[in-house]
Structure 1
Amino acid sequence: MPKTIRELADELGVSKQAIWQKIKRDASIDLRQFTSTKGNTVYVDVDGQKAIKAMFSNNSSTRYRQQKDDVDDNKKDAVDGQDEVKFLRNLVSEIQSEKKELHKLLDQQQRLALQDKQLLEEYKAEIKELKSLTMPTQGSEKDDSVENIVKEPQKQNKKWWYFGRRM
């Protein structure tokens, strides 16, 4: 029973153009001996159908192998993708642990800075207390003696270079 190219294409799961291209490429098939035309419709007889199906069955086994290879490649890609996901998860967990460690170090640094500031304030307060204890009150005799002691070395310091010279 003759079939149209469209019916044959639907049966094989390919397009009409694919069948025409296959027939044109394969020189062993003479289209005229297997076809008949009624109007614009081309009919393929049983022998032509077998020849075309054989061409596509050879191609379909090749296509099956290619699909199988594609599936294997997809599986490899999936395994590679899973490995990549595991790697990225490990990387993220490492980064998070480093972040926690940095936060601890920052907290320690801030505590030490605060302790240093408090110690500095205490030292300043002690220095002020010591200065207030050692500073003499105005009008006392000690005040005059301290000023005399301070003035005498200044006079000597101003004239030290005169020792080597004669006047």
Structure 2
Amino acid sequence: MSENLKTIRELAEELGVSKQAIQYHIKSLTNKSRQTNDKGIVVLSVDEQRFVRGKVDKQTNKKETNKQTNRRQTDKQKEWDINQYLRSEIEEIKKNRDKQLAVKDKQLENKDSQISQMQNLLDQQQRLALQDKKLLEEYKSEIKELKSLNIPKQGSEKDDSIPKENSAENRVKEPQNKKWWHFGRRM
């Protein structure tokens, strides 16, 4: 864990206040996900520590040891307050927003290219369907032409090939009773 990051307990012990007091002051910070160490314990960044120290100092006005006084003097030189913290948060949010917008722009470009590809494919499909329809119509007309060529005329060839039933020759040649039980008999 980095030396700059401290847990709530460590900061509370350093400032001489309870953990609940530190948590109370943390609530006034923006709601973002807090960093955790490898054990899953919430740790505070240097900026958050400064903010909490400023709040605790305003409320308690306690005297600190020499070591803490030296730290406070360097902190006072930087003049840390809520406005600086919020500015840093705003900058971070802007960076994240810009990254997200860039990703969204790329996604929109991809979608536009996909839409144009889909339109081209749809046009091709419609053209092919129209060609298929024309081919089917041509094939149907060819089939009708071929059928009309193969069908003989009704008056000429059929009359010559099929014998008439009523003719006298056909009656003489055909036996009148052709039943199987009369096979051995003559009439």
Pick the TM interval, shorter chain.
0.5 to 0.7
Whether 2:178 is the aligned partner of 1:158: answer: yes
Compute the displacement of 1:166 (Å): 8.2
Distance 1:150 1:133 in 2: 15
The structure whose residues are more often helix, as a share, is 1
Q: For structure 2, list consecutive stretches of 5 or more residues without a partner in the other structure.
A: 1-24, 30-50, 59-78
Q: Does 1:129 align with 2:133?
A: no
Q: Secondary structure at the match of 1:128?
A: coil
Alpha-carbon distance between aligned partners in 1 of 2:123 and 2:130, rounded to the nearest angstrom: 11
Q: What number of residue pairs does the alignment pair up?
A: 121
Task: Name the structure 1 match of 2:28.
Answer: 24
Aligned counterpart in structure 1 of residue 82 of structure 2, from 25, 38, 52: 52
User: Structure 1 counterpart of 2:175, which letter?
Assistant: K
TM-score by length of 1: 0.52
Name the % identity: 18
CA distance in 2, matches of 1:131, 1:155: 26
Match of 1:39 in 2: none
Change (3 A) 1:155 1:132: closer
Match of 1:85 in 2: 115
Q: What do the CA deviations read for 1:27-82 (whole angstroms, capped 9, x no partner)? A: 4442994xxxxxxxxxxxxxxx9612211122122112211211221122122112
Q: Distance in 2 between matches of 1:22 and 1:113?
A: 88
Q: Distance in 1 between matches of 2:96 and 2:106?
A: 15
Say which SS state the counterpart of residue 158 (structure 1) adopts: coil
- More deviation, 155-164/79-88: 155-164
C-alpha RMSD of the superposition = 4.0
The one of 76, 81, 94 equivalent to 2:106 is 76
CA drift at 1:88: 0.8
